[in-house]
Amino acid sequence: MSTPHQLAELFVTKGSPYWFFSDAKNAKYLGKKQGGAGGNFDFSRKMWYAKNNELFVKMWNTGKVQLEERAICGNMVVKVIHELKAGEEARKQEKKVEAKRDAAKSTDHSEIHNRRDLLIPNDLPEDLAELERRVWPVLLKHPELATSANPKRHSEAVVADIIAKSRTWTSFGPRSGISDAKRVLRAFDLEICKDVKDAIDGTFEAEELKEIARRNKKNASRNKAPTMRDWTDDTLQAVSTGDPVSEPEAEPEEMELTYPELAPEIMCPICETVISEQFMECDCVPMHCNGYEVWKRCKRCHKMLRVDNFQHRVQGLATAEHGPYGTVCPFCECS
């Protein structure tokens, strides 16, 4: 023989409508008027009925109805309905948790690949300690910002939370070749995030999202295709204002640019190497003396000339003080 609970389960499984007996004077408690349970009345059967489980619970809780099926316990039906509702809520919550878990796995997988591709090193203990040192005074002033129940781990947990969130903050700068902790410290030092409290309580993250939305909107408007205006004959008619027609302005004359005459490639009189305008060097100076300028271009005539502007050169080269190559340009005699 079935138990009351099993009969109630069969009754609910069968589904609505659920029929009730009630006195006519109870219509104000069961009907859809203000203060009523919201049930419906069938004038052909002279009975009240509920279209769904929620209405069944409301009508039964008024205490003014009796089930058409006398073998069914109304209180047990209410219990079964509550159990079904709780089961549905549990399944929805389980799906949300599973979706979050899958999203976290996907995020972790992407983060592993990002760290490998961008050569992101691990956080150094001294960087983490410096972040905790900066966070600790803020937590002392605002204890409600702590994310851990353990007082000893307040700053450590907050720092971990900041580092995790900062990975998506583009204004903190590139991540390549720098650890997450050092990147956060760099942002604090450069005053990209001016207050540590803003990074903890979500203020900076909200501003970051606003800035991203602003840039996306700007890019969308920039990429928007121009609208083509449908011109008609009426709109193309010129409007007469009675003013005399002004003559078109004369176009400005193009300025004639003059360039200085550049000398062609010349040859060094000592090593007989052709001096090109691109490199302006010869073979007189060995590799370990490549910091000295031997050839320059005259500031006035823009021609190349040799200028040995230091003493005691190697390989017995002549100098400006003791040789034929002075500091005066042989072409225009400028110093």
Is the pLDDT at 218 greater than 90? The verdict is no
Q: In terms of pLDDT, which residue wins out, 325 or 124?
A: 124
* 130-175 pLDDT tens trace: 999 998 888 888 888 877 666 666 788 889 989 988 888 888 888 8
Residue type, 18: Y
Whole-angstrom distance, CA of residue 70 vs CA of residue 323: 129
Query: Is 241's pLDDT higher than 80?
Result: no
Supply angle C-alpha 316, 322, 323, rounded to 5. Answer: 75
- Per the prediction, the chain carries an average pLDDT of 78
**The predicted structure's pLDDT at residue 91:** 92
The pLDDT, as a whole number, for residue 53 is 92
pLDDT at 79: 94
User: Which positions ≥6 away from 305 have C-beta within 8 Å?
Assistant: 295, 296, 297, 298, 325, 329, 330, 331
- At residue 208, the pLDDT reads 87
| 13 pLDDT more than 80 | yes
Angle, in degrees to the nearest 10, between helices 74-117 and 4-14:
70
Overall pTM surpassing 0.75 (yes/no) = no
pLDDT over 90 (residue 57): yes
Tens-place pLDDT, residues 283-303? 766 544 554 556 777 666 667
pLDDT band at 259 (very low <50, low <70, confident <90, very high): very low
Question: pLDDT tens digits for 91-114?
Answer: 999 999 888 887 777 777 888 888
Residue 215: strand, helix, or coil: helix
